[in-house]
Amino acid sequence: MNISGKKAIIFGGTSGIGLSTVKMLFEKGASKIIAISRNPEKVSEIPDNVELVKLDVLDENGLKTFFDKQGEFDILVNSATGGARALGPFLNMDMEGYRNSFFKLWGYSNVVRYGTENLKNDGCIVLVSGSPARNCRPGYIALSSVGGAVEAFARGIAKEINPKRINVVSPGTIDTPMSPLMGEERKTFYQNATKTNLIPRAGTPEEVAQGIIFAIENDFITGTTIDVDGGWLLS
């Protein structure tokens, strides 16, 4: 796919990985970019021609209305978390927190369900999973469960929506604004989280966005997962 002149819709497009993807799509000449989040008013440093939309991926009626108004488009990316994420050992975990972690899957499935109809036949969808899906370290069971579900969902849906494409990008530990930590505490957290990786540092949103752009541009991949993880799967 040549991104120049294409229309792209990016959920979670106002911060972190999604915002980096928006900026790269702009640089590659996308003619129309819509960046969607629950709090678009918080965004800064976004290209002037990007349309900001306030919408929750769990709002099915809102999604239906939004996509009905869009007409045809070429690119659909979802990097929105959908809600809270539970961390810690499963046997000590609050089960409500574990269940709420699956809001990410419900948000992704909502977007694919209501967005695919208007996606052009040569268009593509990219979802963002996470490395715990296939290499679950202690304390990451909720993330692993949800990420695994997202990847299985994409593989199954790929057969149903062909020739439209859907792929997953799976990040490792990425230093994004989602983390509330600051200063030395933030630095120490990321050092400890990545010290066993083959590349012992946190990734950047831009590095993950490059993987998303690859999934968009390469017309010969569908139903697959692209790892951008610093060697998480091998550690």
Domain locations in the chain as residue ranges:
7-227
122 vs 45, more confident = 122
Report helix, strand or coil for 212. Answer: helix
At 181, the pLDDT band (50, 70, 90 cuts) reads low
Please, what is the end-to-end C-alpha distance for the chain in angstroms? 34
The answer to pTM > 0.85 is yes
CATH number of this structure's domain 7-227, picked from the four choices 3.40.190.10, 3.40.50.720, 3.40.50.300, 3.10.20.740: 3.40.50.720
Question: Is pLDDT at 178 greater than 70 in this prediction?
Answer: no
pLDDT in tens, 41-63: 888 789 888 999 999 999 999 99
Peptide bond before residue 163 is cis, with ω within 30 degrees of 0: yes
List the 73-78 sheet strands across, edge first. 50-54, 32-37, 7-11, 73-78, 119-128, 165-171, 225-228
Q: How far is it, in rounded angstroms, from Cα 94 to Cα 80?
A: 23
pLDDT of residue 184: 77
Q: How far is it, in rounded angstroms, from Cα 88 to Cα 137?
A: 10
